[in-house]
């Protein structure tokens, strides 16, 4: 299972990796004692009689709470993040909502030789035939996160320009926060020195979770605790993100804890579902999309931003250039390749002075170089869009694998084409659904309500004693 997660999780702290033959130190629910290999060793060093206990199941939350990396399937039970759990909740008759990522749609489109819009409509048919109540679009929640990110960056940028030399400046560059593999690596390995640079805005997955459980539930006349919310993502790390305690809330002090996202299915798992149900997906009927929270215009076209990994750098760059600097940037951004195709930068010059310098940073190797420069105080960027996977989200480990004889590079090119096919480029600030959320619920970007529901905090993770001893 561990190989399915991003490289930053698997490489970030090798000493914390728990192989199938190793014991995981975790509290028993019925006993406060810990499982420890040394407990079965007598004073003379001979093995004593093993203690018979109930098998311990370690949930994904338990795993994330520890400082170790993702362990193998024999050790960590992904029971709450599985296809079986999804089908089980459908059988229970719960109100099930599925939120679908555009990267997953693109992968299925390439696999079946369809357009992303056709895939969306066919998945709507499939999921609703299984008992799903609504299918939403994380492109819509992404627009919401982009607006909040624009607002946060502008605040930091303006403060950095106005702060006197004697005062502490806000942390720049601002680093994107949508990639859970990057966030987990930052918390576990980089510690507190890097965390202030990271944007506080939640990812599109958790943003749509907050919207569904705190706002849309009233529109659907359903209590948030009665909704089972599932996202379809290109990335296994998203399962970890959904399990974070930061994304669990209570309606009141006596109520049960509610997860913003109850379960995450990868694109590959949705393909497994199609095959499990023996569905002829290409011939499946196309159903109308749920317009309550989906980026589809009156002509029936999907719409969204440029950028297959969220478009954070490009959207913030254009917005800040226009609003703060009075420079409207038209046409495609002239990204310049620096080290490799996964590290590109773009800058805006006014009066021969660079006033904005943004970069795309994908993959673990580029990520390490960025972190090293930040630590040395030598980074001259204002914003970095960081993704753990080379080529970004389209290349997530949860995506459908290349066909026999097909290279990864060829597949990525097909995915990039499918991702933008028949998708109208639109400014997030003109999204009527998102504007409706602000007027009815969030008030304005950066408001107290927006910060409560759409922003989060990060926490340095103290390494386990086992890891520290191994390092020593």
Residue 225 within any structural domain of the chain: yes
As a whole number, mean pLDDT of residues 95-109 equals 98
362-401 pLDDT tens trace: 999 999 999 999 999 899 999 999 999 999 999 999 999 9
Clarify whether residues 128 and 163 are in a common domain: no
Residues 216 and 346 in one domain: no
108 with 175, same domain: the answer is no
Rounded average pLDDT over 422-438: 96
Residue-wise pLDDT tens digits, 321-371? 999 999 999 889 999 999 899 999 999 988 888 899 999 999 999 999 999
Section 187-193 average pLDDT: 86
Residue 466 domain flag: no
Domain assignment present for 461: no
Say whether pLDDT at 65 is over 90. no
For 77, other C-beta atoms within 10 Å of its C-beta total: 17
- The whole-number pLDDT of residue 57 equals 53
CA distance 120 to 140: 14
CA angle 396, 401, 404 (to 5 degrees): 155
What is the residue range of 389's domain? 143-200+307-397
d(CA 35, CA 288): 53
pLDDT at residue 26 in the model? 44
Does one domain contain both 116 and 236?
A: yes
460 assigned to some structural domain: no
Among 35, 68, 101, the domain boundary falls at 68
257 and 358 assigned to the same domain: no
Q: Is residue 463 part of a domain?
A: no
Within 212-301, where are the H helices? Answer: 217-219, 237-242, 267-276
- Alpha helices per DSSP H over 25-79: 60-65
The answer as to whether 37 is a domain residue is yes
Confidence grade of residue 254 (pLDDT, cut at 50, 70, 90): confident
Task: Determine the pLDDT at residue 171.
Answer: 84
Element (H, E) at 337: strand 336-337
For residues 281 and 247, state if they share a domain. Answer: yes
Section 261-287 average pLDDT: 96
Q: What is the CA radius of gyration of the chain?
A: 23
* Domain termination residue (choose one: 13, 48, 68): 68
The domain that holds 259 is classified in CATH as 3.40.50.1780
- Per-residue model confidence (pLDDT) at position 7: 60
Minimum mean pLDDT among 44-58, 124-138, 308-322, 419-433: which range? Answer: 44-58
Number of domains within the chain: 3
The reported pTM is: 0.84
In a domain, 407, yes or no: no
Three-class secondary structure assignment of 292-335: HHCCECCCCCEEECCCCCCCHHHHHHHHHHHHCCCCCCCCCCCC
Mean pLDDT of 187-210: 94
Q: Can you tell me the mean pLDDT for 64-89?
A: 61
- Judgement on whether residues 298 and 440 belong to the same structural domain of the protein: yes
pLDDT at 78: 56
Shared-domain flag, residues 126 and 228: yes
Mean pLDDT estimate for the chain: 85
User: Does residue 471 belong to any structural domain of this protein?
Assistant: no
For the chain, the maximum distance between any two Cα atoms, rounded to a whole number of angstroms, is 79
Asked whether the predicted pLDDT for residue 229 surpasses 90, the reply is: yes
**Domain containing residue 348: CATH number:** 3.40.950.10
- pLDDT tops 60 at residue 148: yes
Residue 140, H or E segment: helix 138-162
pLDDT at position 320, please? 96
- Per-residue burial over 257-287, b = 16 or more CB atoms within 10 Å of its CB, e = otherwise: ebbbbbbbbbbbbbbebbeeeeeebeebeeb
Q: Is pLDDT larger for residue 77 or for residue 140?
A: 140
Q: Are 295 and 304 in contact (CB under 8 A)?
A: yes
Say yes or no to pLDDT of 46 above 60: no
- In tens, the pLDDT along 150-167 reads 999 999 999 888 756 556
Same domain, 319 and 214: no
Q: Of 107 and 32, which is predicted with more confidence?
A: 107
Residues 385, 315 share a domain: yes
Residue count of the chain, please give it: 472
Please give the residue that has the higher pLDDT: either 58 or 87: 87
Peptide bond into 173 cis (omega under 30): yes
Q: Are residues 86 and 59 in the same domain?
A: no
Rounded (5°) CA angle 324-325-329: 110
- Report pLDDT for 192: 84
- Residues 284, 322 within the same domain: no
pLDDT at 27 over 70: no
């Amino acid at each position: 299972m561990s190989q399915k997660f991003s490289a930053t999780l698997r490489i970030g702290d090798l000493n914390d990796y728990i192989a199938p033959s190793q014991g995981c130190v975790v509290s028993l629910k019925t006993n406060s004692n810990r499982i420890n290999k040394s407990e079965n060793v007598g004073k003379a060093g001979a093995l004593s009689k093993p203690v018979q206990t109930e098998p311990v199941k370690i949930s994904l939350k338990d795993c994330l709470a520890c400082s170790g990396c993702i362990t193998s399937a024999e050790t960590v039970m992904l029971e709450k993040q599985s296809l079986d759990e999804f089908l089980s909740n459908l059988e229970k008759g719960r109100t099930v909502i599925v939120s679908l990522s555009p990267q997953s749609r693109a992968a299925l489109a390439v696999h079946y030789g369809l357009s992303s819009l056709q895939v969306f409509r066919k998945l709507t048919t499939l999921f609703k035939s299984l008992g799903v109540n609504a299918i939403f679009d994380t492109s819509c929640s992404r627009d919401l996160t982009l607006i909040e990110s624009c607002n946060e960056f502008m605040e930091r940028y303006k403060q950095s320009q106005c702060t006197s030399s004697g005062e502490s400046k806000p942390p720049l560059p601002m680093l994107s926060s949508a990639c859970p593999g990057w966030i987990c690596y930052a918390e576990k390995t980089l510690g507190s020195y890097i965390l202030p640079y990271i944007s506080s805005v939640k990812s599109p997955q958790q943003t749509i979770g907050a919207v569904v459980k705190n706002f849309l539930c009233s529109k659907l006349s359903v209590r948030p605790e009665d909704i089972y919310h599932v996202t379809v993502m290109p990335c296994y790390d998203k399962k970890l993100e959904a399990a974070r305690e930061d994304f669990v809330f209570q309606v009141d002090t006596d109520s049960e804890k509610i997860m913003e996202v109850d379960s995450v299915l990868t694109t590959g798992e949705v393909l497994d579902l199609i095959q499990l149900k023996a569905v002829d997906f290409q011939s499946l009927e196309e159903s109308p999309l749920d317009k309550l929270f989906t980026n589809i215009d009156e002509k029936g076209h999907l719409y969204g931003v440029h950028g297959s990994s969220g478009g954070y750098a490009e959207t913030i760059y254009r917005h800040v250039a226009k609003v703060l600097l009075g420079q409207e940037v038209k046409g495609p951004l002239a990204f310049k390749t620096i080290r490799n195709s996964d590290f590109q930068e773009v800058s805006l010059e006014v009066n021969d002075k660079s006033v904005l310098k943004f970069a795309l940073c994908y993959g673990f190797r580029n990520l390490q170089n960025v972190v090293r420069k930040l630590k040395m105080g030598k980074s001259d960027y204002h914003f970095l869009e960081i993704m753990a996977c080379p080529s970004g989200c389209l290349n997530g480990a949860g995506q459908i694998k290349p066909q026999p004889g097909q290279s990864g590079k060829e597949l990525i090119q097909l995915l990039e084409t499918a991702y933008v096919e028949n998708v109208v480029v639109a400014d997030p600030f003109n999204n009527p659904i998102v504007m409706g959320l602000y007027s009815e619920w969030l008030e304005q970007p950066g408001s107290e309500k927006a910060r409560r529901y759409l922003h989060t905090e990060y926490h340095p993770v103290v390494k386990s004693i086992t890891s520290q001893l191994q390092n020593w």
